[in-house]
Amino acid sequence: MSGDLGYLGLMQAGELIRTRELSPVELTRALLDRIERHDGRINAFIRVTPEAALASAKAAEAEIMAGGWRGPLHGVPFGLKDIIDVAGVPTTSHSKILLDNVAKTDAVVTARLKAAGGVLLGKLSTHEFAIGGPSFDLPFPPARNPWNRNCHPGGSSSGSGAALAAGFVPAALGTDTGGSVRNPASMCGIVGMKPTYGRVSRRGVFPLSYSLDHVGPMTRSVRDNAVLLNIIAGHDADDPGSANVATADFAADIGKGLKGVRIGLARHLYAEAPVASSEQLAALDAAAEAFRALGAEVREIRLAAYDDYITCNRIILTAEAFAIHRRWLAERPGDYGALTRQRILPGASIPSADYIDALRLRQRLIERTSAAMTNVDVVLTASSLDPTCRIDDAEAVARTYPRQVRQPFNVTGQPALAMPAGFTRDGLPLSLQLVGHNFEEAMVYRVAAAYEEATRWCDRRPPGLD
Amino acid sequence: MSASDEIRAAARAAGLDKLTDAQLAEFAASRTAARGYAAKLPKDLSWTEEPALTLSLTPRREATS
Domain extents in chain B: 3-39
* Nearest neighbour of A349 by CB, restricted to B30, B40, B53: B30
Q: Do the beta carbons of residue A432 and residue A284 sit within 8 Å?
A: yes
What is the C-alpha to C-alpha distance for residues A385 and A350, in angstroms, rounded to an integer? 28
Residue of A454, A446, A456 whose CA lies nearest to A290? A454
Structure confidence at residue A361 (pLDDT) = 98
**CB < 8 Å to A132, chain B:** none
What is the C-alpha to C-alpha distance for residues A301 and A299, in angstroms, rounded to an integer? 6
Identified catalytic residue from A23, A56, A158, A180: A180
Task: Give me the sheet containing A262-265, strands edge to edge.
Answer: A45-48, A119-124, A77-81, A171-176, A214-219, A191-194, A416-423, A429-436, A378-381, A262-265, A297-300
DSSP A233: B
Task: Establish if A331 touches chain B: CB-CB under 8 angstroms.
Answer: yes
* Nearest neighbour of A333 by CB, restricted to B23, B29, B52: B23
**CB < 8 Å to B50, chain A:** 360, 363
Q: Do the beta carbons of residue A382 and residue A158 sit within 8 Å?
A: no
Residue of B15, B53, B18, B50 whose CA lies nearest to A212? B53
A81 catalytic per annotation: yes
Q: Do the beta carbons of residue A322 and residue A345 sit within 8 Å?
A: yes
Q: Would you call A339 exposed, middle or buried from its count of C-beta atoms within 10 A (0-12, 13-18, 19+)?
A: buried
Structure confidence at residue A133 (pLDDT) = 87
Task: Establish if B21 touches chain A: CB-CB under 8 angstroms.
Answer: no
Structure confidence at residue A131 (pLDDT) = 97
- Which residues of chain A fall below pLDDT 70? 1-3
Question: Which chain A residue shows the shortest CA-CA distance from B32?
Answer: A346
Task: Establish if A370 touches chain B: CB-CB under 8 angstroms.
Answer: no
* Nearest neighbour of A241 by CB, restricted to B15, B17, B54: B54
What φ, ψ does residue A243 adopt, rounded to 5°?
Answer: -90, 130
Q: Do the beta carbons of residue A245 and residue A203 sit within 8 Å?
A: no
Task: Establish if B41 touches chain A: CB-CB under 8 angstroms.
Answer: yes
Single-letter amino acid code for the residue at B27: F
Q: Do the beta carbons of residue A152 and residue A178 sit within 8 Å?
A: no
Helix (H, G, I), strand (E, B) or coil at A366: helix
Structure confidence at residue B58 (pLDDT) = 63
**CB < 8 Å to B41, chain A:** 311, 315, 354, 357-358, 361
Q: Would you call A139 exposed, middle or buried from its count of C-beta atoms within 10 A (0-12, 13-18, 19+)?
A: middle
What φ, ψ does residue B21 adopt, rounded to 5°?
Answer: -60, -40
DSSP characters over A142-188: PP-BTTBTTB---SSSHHHHHHHHTTS-SEEEEEESSSTTHHHHHHH
Task: Establish if A328 touches chain B: CB-CB under 8 angstroms.
Answer: no
**CB < 8 Å to B16, chain A:** 326, 329-330, 333, 348
pLDDT digits (tens, 9 = 90+) for A297-320: 999 999 999 999 999 999 999 999
What is the C-alpha to C-alpha distance for residues A362 and A312, in angstroms, rounded to an integer? 6
| ipTM at complex level | 0.91
pLDDT digits (tens, 9 = 90+) for A413-453: 999 999 999 999 999 999 999 999 999 999 999 999 999 99
pLDDT digits (tens, 9 = 90+) for A29-83: 999 999 999 999 999 999 999 999 999 999 999 999 999 999 999 999 999 999 9
Residue of A428, A419, A422 whose CA lies nearest to A462? A428
Task: Establish if B48 touches chain A: CB-CB under 8 angstroms.
Answer: no
* Nearest neighbour of A362 by CB, restricted to B14, B30, B52: B52
Across chain B, which has 65 residues, the per-10-residue mean pLDDT values are 90 96 97 96 93 71 67
Q: Do B11 and A330 touch (CB under 8 A)?
A: no
DSSP characters over A81-137: ETTB-BTTBB--TTSGGGTT-B-SS--HHHHHHHHTT-EEEEEE--SBTTTB-S-SS
A156 catalytic per annotation: yes
Q: Do A333 and B20 touch (CB under 8 A)?
A: yes
Task: Establish if A212 touches chain B: CB-CB under 8 angstroms.
Answer: no
Task: Establish if A356 touches chain B: CB-CB under 8 angstroms.
Answer: yes
What is the C-alpha to C-alpha distance for residues B16 and A334, in angstroms, rounded to an integer? 12
Strands A119-124 and A77-81: parallel
Structure confidence at residue A3 (pLDDT) = 58
Q: What angle do CA A196, A200, A202 make, to 5 degrees?
A: 115
Question: How many Cβ pairs within 8 Å bridge chains A and B?
Answer: 101
DSSP B62: P
A180 catalytic per annotation: yes
What is the C-alpha to C-alpha distance for residues A288 and B27, in angstroms, rounded to an integer? 44
Domain A10-459, CATH among 3.40.50.1950, 1.10.20.10, 3.90.1300.10, 2.60.40.10: 3.90.1300.10
Domain extents in chain A: 10-459
